[in-house]
Structure 1
């Protein structure tokens, strides 16, 4: 009969499970402090094996799993070993945690009833209760059973997540509903003071956002960084969720601790519909974050062309001037020629220079948008800027010097054709002759290019000491090149 067919493979599976457990425990112990060694009792090993074991039967071709149910009858015979149900492994897992991670709810029920009440809320080393284990595995019936039997729905794991937040992360509407109906606090502050609504909004879980709002969730809580669910939804461009939150009273003008507005977060996300919605609800495009950057800067830097088109008409030039940086700089820094071209056609000045306050943030004290394009090796953006009248000789370190150092012939030629000073002098490692030669001494193509554009060759043969004799060691301006220009 079926039972006799199953007996041998079942015992074999239990034995294999016990052997695997022993191997894992031995391996884990090797990394623990030598003064402590976990030794599982024989009874605990049998309990875990019974919980984990898959029931097998023979077919004509092979040994195949009949189903994924643990050995209920075997487990029932072990319930009298109560102390074994309180033994945790190196990871802090009790038999009840193991049972919560199995799909068979009957196994969980047997294990749960055999365990003392004190173990029902005991946590693993990762801070997981049996309920959190079941939620993480999305085992609805296990969650239902544990909640029905009084397990706490508000215990957080090691990462600071509640069961409700975990359910949202795994997109389980049914489990989230069970938790809320069983007393889960919808406004419970978790890691970084975020609530379940923060997580649902961030992940774009529209149905879960609706569930939380219906269940009394605060529509506009602030995290530890001052971010609201609306701001997190804006970051990811979840427009429908943003509208739900705004309809419930979320503040469109709220700012995070770094003063970044919701519109600034939306500009980073780049969804033009999200930006339009915020502007419709009264968002201000001229509110800077603490660094001075505006939403238009962020959209330009990240290359969000459609978002940029929405922001240009509502951004004031005075606000840009006050920020000390043009969106032209941002588009060039991010290497986004399409955005750069649009901004230039919209009337932004190709020669807007960084404010002194902003320049201090760069070791090379750069000023122009052209410098950003050249330092990126972005020929397309450099061409757009030069065609729009960008001046190539405005930065402390000449743009041509950057192109020479990179060995980029096309960029060098482009700059020289638009008036780059071939006879510039470097401020560091100064030479008696124009500095560009330092990069061309071993490159004939580069040298010819410099000569063709008017390099002052005569300075190379002009000794500042004249014809008088001088020490061979006094060679200022004529030493071997050691370039330390940036």
Structure 2
């Protein structure tokens, strides 16, 4: 499944030389400027030496600028990018240069649609941001795409600039933009910005507007999904601890973490209630999809089984004791694929007995269809599997299964729930399958 990355999401605003979107934004700001000044398009044609003032700005030549800014037509010059001098001054690191340009164009920011402030946001210079705001640059005017300066600052991780923009960015402007700055900070992988925004009261469950979700194949919604997609444990933890809901995206965040094989990320998602029994939209299976990513890894397999994975569903073969009446599973997608078809393909069959043996720790007696049984009989674990199947399970194990059944999978998905039950600690650990918690044992032996 291909998805658009956080960087791709902002690429249209970052490529100043080639991007049509940025060119469009600049043109709109120039149109507004012309209206305010009462200028005709011919008045804004590049001069014979259009680079003169731009060169002075880039070089920080205050003497040349003092001479040039007194000429009104100089401030309306347009370079090959479509920029006017104020655009160039805003992206420099020199506050004095920007003040000189403002001295001759003190109302230019009022004519603007936010473009200059947005361009300055990329460099994140807090002095430049502050000066633009002092000259009435509006942080609540969006680009045509809906983005605000605060989104760009958060994406690039500019902490001080973000602190300048948070108090002046209005909530209604953020809502109308269709995305939260938390999405931007998570997409950029900047945990410090995520933390600042959460402390400022931004909602970790603000979901992308549908018009923005369409930009992604996975139709992602949450800031948490951006963080998990980036394999970013720190941002994910901050969002989860702030109350981010873990099962809100069309593609489950847990599925993404399982694909990454990131144990810590998987563990924290499970801790906050990730649904181990989700179903994939792409590869439809009769059994919950999480198992597909854990077949080769006992740590991940035990993690999802400990958190209430529906083992019984895997052995629910619609063919029963009859032979399967269609061709073996191939790489093509087959609707509602059953477990026995998946686990018996040539490149997975060597794992089948080990996976089944582990799964038997989480269930009572199950039945094997002929297809699965034929494959299991070829594996070295078959005698042990037969021993488990032929002998009655002990009462303690059956009681655990029964209690977990009554707790329901929803509660098993939130391990903190068990902490509030009036039960002895040893019993709680038993209900959590603590003896099979391979991940925790490994973490204690090899802490990172």
TM class by shorter chain equals 0.5 to 0.7
SS state of the match for residue 237, structure 2? Answer: helix
Q: Judging changes above 3 Å, is the alpha-carbon distance between structure 1 residues 316 and 285 closer, same or farther for their aligned structure 2 residues?
A: same
Q: Judging changes above 3 Å, is the alpha-carbon distance between structure 1 residues 460 and 205 closer, same or farther for their aligned structure 2 residues?
A: farther
What's the counterpart of residue 149 of structure 1? none
* Distance in 2 of aligned mates of 1:290 and 1:203: 32
* Distance in 2 of aligned mates of 1:208 and 1:336: 39
- CA drift of 1:473 comes to 2.1
* Distance in 2 of aligned mates of 1:412 and 1:189: 62
What's the counterpart of residue 303 of structure 2? 449
Residues 110 and 137 in structure 2, CA contact (< 8 A), matched pair in contact too: yes
What's the counterpart of residue 63 of structure 1? none
- With normalisation by structure 1, the TM-score equals 0.56
* Distance in 2 of aligned mates of 1:434 and 1:443: 17
**Which of 299, 315, 318 is residue 461 of structure 1 equivalent to?**
315
Residues 139 and 165 in structure 2, CA contact (< 8 A), matched pair in contact too: yes
Q: Judging changes above 3 Å, is the alpha-carbon distance between structure 1 residues 429 and 321 closer, same or farther for their aligned structure 2 residues?
A: same
What's the counterpart of residue 316 of structure 1? 170
Residues 254 and 261 in structure 1, CA contact (< 8 A), matched pair in contact too: no
* Distance in 1 of aligned mates of 2:257 and 2:62: 50
Give deviations 1:337-377, integer Å, cap 9, x for gaps.
11110100101000000000111111111110000000111
Q: Judging changes above 3 Å, is the alpha-carbon distance between structure 1 residues 348 and 215 closer, same or farther for their aligned structure 2 residues?
A: closer
Q: Judging changes above 3 Å, is the alpha-carbon distance between structure 1 residues 249 and 470 closer, same or farther for their aligned structure 2 residues?
A: closer
Residues 155 and 187 in structure 2, CA contact (< 8 A), matched pair in contact too: yes
* Distance in 2 of aligned mates of 1:349 and 1:453: 28
What's the counterpart of residue 188 of structure 1? 47
* Distance in 2 of aligned mates of 1:291 and 1:223: 24
Q: Map of 1:355-374 to 2, 5 A cutoff? A: 355-374=209-228
Residues 155 and 190 in structure 2, CA contact (< 8 A), matched pair in contact too: yes
* Distance in 1 of aligned mates of 2:197 and 2:259: 29
* Distance in 1 of aligned mates of 2:66 and 2:310: 73
Give deviations 1:232-276, integer Å, cap 9, x for gaps.
121123211110011112512344xxx552111121121111111
Give deviations 1:399-426, integer Å, cap 9, x for gaps.
1111110111110001010111011100
Structure with the bigger RCO (C-alpha within 8 Å, sep 6+) is: 2
Q: Judging changes above 3 Å, is the alpha-carbon distance between structure 1 residues 217 and 205 closer, same or farther for their aligned structure 2 residues?
A: farther
1:399 aligns with 2:253: yes
Larger Rg: 1
1:242 aligns with 2:98: yes
Residues 89 and 101 in structure 2, CA contact (< 8 A), matched pair in contact too: no
- CA drift of 1:382 comes to 0.3
Give deviations 1:380-408, integer Å, cap 9, x for gaps.
10000000000111111111111110111
SS state of the match for residue 243, structure 2? Answer: coil
What's the counterpart of residue 335 of structure 1? 189
Residues 151 and 180 in structure 2, CA contact (< 8 A), matched pair in contact too: yes
* Distance in 1 of aligned mates of 2:148 and 2:257: 30
Residues 204 and 233 in structure 1, CA contact (< 8 A), matched pair in contact too: no
Tell me how many residue pairs correspond in the alignment.
Answer: 291
Residues 296 and 327 in structure 1, CA contact (< 8 A), matched pair in contact too: yes
What's the counterpart of residue 231 of structure 1? 87
* Distance in 2 of aligned mates of 1:294 and 1:222: 24
SS state of the match for residue 110, structure 2? Answer: coil
What's the counterpart of residue 425 of structure 2? none
Residues 237 and 274 in structure 1, CA contact (< 8 A), matched pair in contact too: yes
What's the counterpart of residue 408 of structure 1? 262
Q: Map of 1:117-128 to 2, 5 A cutoff? A: none
What's the counterpart of residue 21 of structure 1? none
Q: Which structure shows the bigger proportion of residues in helix conformation?
A: 2
Q: Map of 1:59-138 to 2, 5 A cutoff? A: none
* Distance in 1 of aligned mates of 2:138 and 2:72: 29
Q: Judging changes above 3 Å, is the alpha-carbon distance between structure 1 residues 351 and 459 closer, same or farther for their aligned structure 2 residues?
A: same
- CA drift of 1:216 comes to 7.5
* Distance in 1 of aligned mates of 2:89 and 2:115: 13
* Distance in 2 of aligned mates of 1:313 and 1:253: 20
Residues 114 and 137 in structure 2, CA contact (< 8 A), matched pair in contact too: no
Residues 350 and 369 in structure 1, CA contact (< 8 A), matched pair in contact too: yes
Q: Judging changes above 3 Å, is the alpha-carbon distance between structure 1 residues 253 and 195 closer, same or farther for their aligned structure 2 residues?
A: farther
Residues 183 and 223 in structure 2, CA contact (< 8 A), matched pair in contact too: yes
* Distance in 2 of aligned mates of 1:248 and 1:214: 6
* Distance in 1 of aligned mates of 2:147 and 2:156: 13
What's the counterpart of residue 253 of structure 1? 110
- CA drift of 1:204 comes to 3.5
Q: Judging changes above 3 Å, is the alpha-carbon distance between structure 1 residues 350 and 203 closer, same or farther for their aligned structure 2 residues?
A: farther
What's the counterpart of residue 307 of structure 1? 161
What's the counterpart of residue 210 of structure 1? 66
* Distance in 2 of aligned mates of 1:364 and 1:211: 55
RMSD: 2.3
Instruction: For structure 2, list consecutive stretches of 5 or more residues without a partner in the other structure.
Output: 1-45, 346-448
Residues 288 and 294 in structure 1, CA contact (< 8 A), matched pair in contact too: yes
